[in-house]
């Protein structure tokens, strides 16, 4: 079945290649659209530029999240589930395709799609790039032209019907997700599932850091978010201690202490990580800071220092035996 339609959009033609089922989807901000696409040049050979099937997974976009090729939302909104359609789009709608394709290709290659991109609007970035890194896309960037998109729509999911990635959440949704993730992390810790708990704490921190990026550092809004970040980072570090990821703990506690140099719990966790990797001097310094900042932890510090001393003495004995064996002359 092939029927050609003129959508109510200038410079767009639609041809249905395979009919879909049900009603037209009702798109709203946050809806997730899953589909396959193929992009072709409008030339005699119908040269293929991109094909999502080559990557092996369908494309997903979130409605209202500033996807750079806005016309795709319009095209997909005219399709039913299971439908396959071909769209001809004039150059007025395809000028940003080179940048969109560049990002998608980088993701498929396991690279950062924003590598080297300046913090400017999409059109500004177009003029910043001398090359996209792909010859065919450089040609599209130099000479914008009509393109053909063949799309197969799989499904449209309402915002409440799927687990949304952090980047796709609104400010309110991120704030609401943080206490839920914190609680889930605590529950997993009680079950000693430290790896899964760490992932929950990390996801909550990412939500808050994304929100912090829009606030001015050290002002009220930023500080309120930071007060939520700190306990999550400490919980994350405790999980990493349990998992034996000591250098991960050293990195995150040091970063935390650069902003909050009076946090006794951060010093305590960093001291334990130092002790675990045989940094005796650093461990002792951090444990003593803990006792100075929080006298109520003095007993715990005393216990840790005693254990550290015993471990270091045992290590020194073992090292001496090992080195003596190395320098003893061979018998006979």
Do 98 and 195 have their domain in common? Answer: no
Global confidence as pTM: 0.55
Is it the case that residue 93 has pLDDT exceeding 70? yes
Do 93 and 153 have their domain in common? Answer: yes
Do 85 and 189 have their domain in common? Answer: no
| Assigned domain for 328 exists | no
Cα 222–chain centre separation: 21
| Assigned domain for 247 exists | yes
Beta 59-62 vs 32-41: how paired, if at all? antiparallel
Question: How far is residue 10's CA from residue 178's CA, in Å, rounded to a whole number?
Answer: 43
Do 14 and 149 have their domain in common? Answer: yes
pLDDT single digits (tens) 248-278:
999 999 999 999 999 999 999 999 999 999 8
- Alpha-carbon distances, residue 98 vs 76, 111, 122, 142, 147 (angstroms): 20, 17, 11, 10, 11
Do 292 and 223 have their domain in common? Answer: yes
Cα 29–chain centre separation: 21
Q: Are 14 and 77 in contact (CB under 8 A)?
A: no
| Assigned domain for 130 exists | yes
Residue 62's beta-bridge partner residues?
Answer: 32
Which 3 state secondary structure label does DSSP give 154?
strand
Do 18 and 122 have their domain in common? Answer: yes
Q: What is the pLDDT of residue 175?
A: 86
- Domain residues for 229? 171-320
Beta 3-6 vs 84-89: how paired, if at all? unpaired
Which 3 state secondary structure label does DSSP give 34?
strand
Do 152 and 185 have their domain in common? Answer: no
The domain spanning residue 193 has which CATH number? 1.25.40.10
Domains identified in the chain, total number? 2
Q: What is the DSSP string of 182-215?
A: HHHHHHHHHTT-HHHHHHHHHHHHHHHHHHHTTS
More confident residue, 106 or 236: 236
More confident residue, 1 or 52: 52
Q: What is the pLDDT of residue 122?
A: 41
Residue 110 CB partners (closer than 8 Å, separation 6+): none
Do 307 and 268 have their domain in common? Answer: yes
The domain spanning residue 124 has which CATH number? 3.10.50.40
Average pLDDT, the chain: 85
């Amino acid at each position: 079945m092939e029927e050609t339609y003129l959508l109510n959009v200038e410079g767009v033609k639609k041809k249905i290649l395979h009919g879909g089922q049900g009603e037209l989807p009702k798109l709203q901000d946050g809806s997730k659209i899953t589909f396959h696409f193929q992009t072709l040049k409008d030339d005699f050979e119908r040269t293929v530029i991109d094909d999502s099937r080559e990557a092996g997974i369908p494309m997903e976009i979130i409605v209202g999240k500033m996807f750079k090729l806005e016309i795709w939302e319009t095209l997909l909104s005219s399709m039913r589930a299971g439908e396959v359609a071909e769209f001809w789009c004039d150059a007025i709608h395809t000028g940003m395709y080179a940048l969109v394709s560049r990002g998608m290709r980088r993701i498929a290659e396991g690279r950062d799609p924003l590598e080297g991109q300046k913090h400017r609007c999409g059109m500004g970035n177009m003029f910043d790039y001398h090359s996209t890194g792909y010859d065919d896309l450089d040609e599209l960037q130099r000479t914008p032209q009509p393109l053909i998109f063949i799309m197969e729509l799989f499904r449209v999911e309402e915002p409440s019907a799927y687990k949304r990635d952090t980047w796709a959440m609104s400010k309110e949704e991120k704030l609401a997700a943080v206490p839920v993730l914190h609680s889930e992390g605590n529950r997993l810790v009680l079950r000693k599932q430290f790896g899964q708990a760490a992932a929950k704490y990390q996801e909550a921190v990412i939500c808050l850091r994304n929100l912090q990026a829009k606030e001015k550092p050290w002002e009220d809004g930023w500080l309120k978010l930071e007060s939520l970040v700190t306990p999550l980072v400490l919980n994350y570090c405790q999980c990493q201690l349990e998992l034996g990821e000591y250098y991960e703990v050293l990195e995150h506690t040091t970063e935390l202490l650069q902003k909050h140099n009076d946090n006794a719990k951060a010093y305590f966790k960093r001291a334990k990580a130092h002790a675990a990797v045989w940094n005796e001097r650093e461990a002792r310094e951090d444990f003593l800071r803990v006792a100075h900042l929080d006298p109520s932890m003095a007993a715990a510090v005393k216990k840790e220092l005693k254990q550290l001393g015993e471990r270091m003495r045992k290590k020194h004995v073992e090292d001496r035996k090992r080195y003596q064996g190395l320098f003893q002359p061979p018998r006979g």
